[in-house]
């Protein structure tokens, strides 16, 4: 069995000119990993970096601005022989590139096998699973005690001389001028605050009810001039349509926009109201302040430190602690949301309420 090691020499680090990053997962998962890839680019500015990710998650990297080569590849399910066979061609393409380094940021499913078959010179992974230890020849200790996921997962690159503290907690996404210009006409009123609204979520348990959102916005609109900007989630378009049919005042609808256009629209919003979703991470990426409802999860593992961010939640003191934190209740009264929204926008964003 090849020798396993936990660090590279400076000579070996300096020899790295091509990097393959296995970054499978949902869109939100890939957004969380974007600061890790950015830190890699900072460390290896002249290296060619290839990001291997699922087709739907490739949107985490704007094709018009990204500095990386995005290799679309549905991750191989260990229970689907057909999926594996269809991926052999893509594995062959990656193997032919003869990467100096590959990094497994996914660490599950068939990623150990793919890492082994791609056969980079150095194959970096965490050391907590037997398959990972067998398939890779450069290991990082599995993290403990690092709360933020970007930095926790990012500790995998410490053998390359990058400390996890150097990795940003803020998602990185760059809009392009073409899409900025295409959505500019939607934001042509100067005396209003544009409030981005995301009503969907990966599961409806993580979404705040439409009627509550309408009540919140109605209350805010009586105090200051606002224009809601309504985002549409694939497969959950009916929720946004319901809002548009019930909200009595002017809105901006982003229906039929592509993802890059949505990102450019989100960049123009003064604040974004959302649940714990991929679009929440995108808002941080485009540096739009976020007011996020946490109805199932806690914010500590995903909360940015630089971008203005408010986590609206109610702790449940009757349930046992998980990892030292109270669990959250899955209902937040409108009155609580109104109070916290006004406090955040007035004191952190300097909104001039009546």
Query: What pLDDT score was predicted for residue 102?
Result: 98
Q: Which percentage of the chain shows pLDDT scores above 70?
A: 96
pLDDT tens digits for 17-59? 999 999 999 999 999 999 999 999 999 999 999 999 999 999 9
Task: Report pLDDT for 345.
Answer: 98
- The stretch 81-89 carries a mean pLDDT of 71
* Over residues 280-301, mean pLDDT: 96
Answer whether CATH 3.40.50.2000 is correct for domain 177-347. yes
pLDDT band at 83; cut points 50, 70, 90? low
| HEC sequence for the chain | CCCCECCCCHHHHHCCCEEEEECCCCHHHHHHHHHHHHHHHHHCCCCEEEEEECHHHHHHCCCCCCCCEEEECCCCCCCCHHHHHHHHHHHHHHHHCCCCEEEECCCCCCHHHHHHHHCCCEEEEECCCHHHHHHCCEEECCCCCCCCHHHHHHHHHHHHCCCHHHCCCCCCCCCCHHHHHHHHHHCCCCCCEEEEECCCCCCHHHCCCHHHHHHHHHHHHCCCCEEEEECCCCCCHHHHHHHHHHCCCCCEECCCCCHHHHHHHHHHCCEEEEECCHHHHHHHHCCCCEEEECCCCCCCCCCCCCCCEEEECCEECCCCCECCECEECCCCCHHHHHHHHHHHHHHCCCCCCC
pTM for the full predicted model = 0.93
pLDDT at 76 over 80: no
Question: 10-166 with 177-347: one CATH topology?
Answer: yes
Q: Name the average pLDDT for the chain.
A: 93
Q: What is the pLDDT of residues 244-278, one digit of tens each?
A: 999 999 999 999 999 999 999 999 999 999 999 99
User: pLDDT by residue (tens digit) across 91-132?
Assistant: 999 999 999 999 999 998 889 999 999 999 999 999 999 999
Residue spans of the domains in the chain: they are 10-166, 177-347
Quickly state the pLDDT bin for 1 (edges 50, 70, 90): very low
Q: Which fold has domain 10-166?
A: Rossmann fold (3.40.50)
Q: Could you tell me if 149 and 301 are in contact, meaning their C-beta atoms sit under 8 angstroms apart? A: yes
């Amino acid at each position: 069995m090849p020798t396993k090691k936990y660090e590279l020499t400076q000579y070996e680090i300096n020899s790295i000119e091509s990097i393959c990053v296995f970054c499978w997962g949902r869109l939100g998962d890939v957004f969380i990993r974007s600061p890790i890839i950015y830190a890699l680019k900072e460390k290896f500015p002249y290296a060619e970096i290839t990001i291997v990710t699922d087709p739907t998650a490739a949107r985490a990297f704007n094709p018009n601005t990204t500095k990386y080569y995005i290799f679309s590849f549905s991750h191989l399910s260990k229970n689907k022989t057909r999926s594996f066979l269809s991926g052999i061609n893509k594995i062959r393409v990656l193997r032919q590139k003869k990467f100096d380094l590959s990094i497994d940021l996914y660490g599950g499913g068939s990623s150990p096998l793919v890492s082994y078959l791609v056969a980079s010179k150095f194959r970096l992974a965490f050391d907590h699973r037997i398959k990972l230890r067998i398939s890779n020849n450069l290991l990082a200790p599995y993290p403990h005690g690092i709360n933020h996921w970007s930095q926790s997962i990012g500790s995998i690159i410490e053998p390359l001389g990058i400390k996890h503290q150097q990795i940003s907690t803020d998602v990185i996404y760059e809009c392009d001028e073409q899409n900025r210009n295409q959505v500019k006409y939607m934001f042509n009123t100067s005396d209003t605050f544009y409030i981005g609204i995301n009503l969907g979520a990966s599961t409806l348990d993580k979404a705040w009810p439409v009627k509550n959102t309408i009540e919140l916005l109605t209350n805010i609109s009586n105090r200051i001039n606002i224009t809601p900007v309504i985002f549409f989630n694939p497969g959950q378009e009916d929720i946004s349509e319901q809002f548009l049919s019930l909200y009595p005042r002017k809105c901006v609808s982003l229906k039929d926009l592509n993802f890059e256009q949505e990102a450019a629209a989100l960049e123009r919003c003064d604040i974004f109201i959302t649940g714990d979703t991929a679009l929440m991470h995108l808002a941080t990426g485009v540096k739009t302040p976020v007011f996020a409802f946490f109805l199932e999860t806690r914010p500590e593992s995903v909360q940015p430190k630089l971008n203005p961010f408010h986590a609206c939640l109610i702790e449940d003191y009757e349930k046992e602690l998980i990892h030292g934190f109270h669990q959250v209740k899955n209902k937040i009264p409108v009155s609580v949301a109104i109070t916290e929204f006004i406090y955040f926008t007035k004191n952190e964003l300097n909104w001039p309420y009546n």
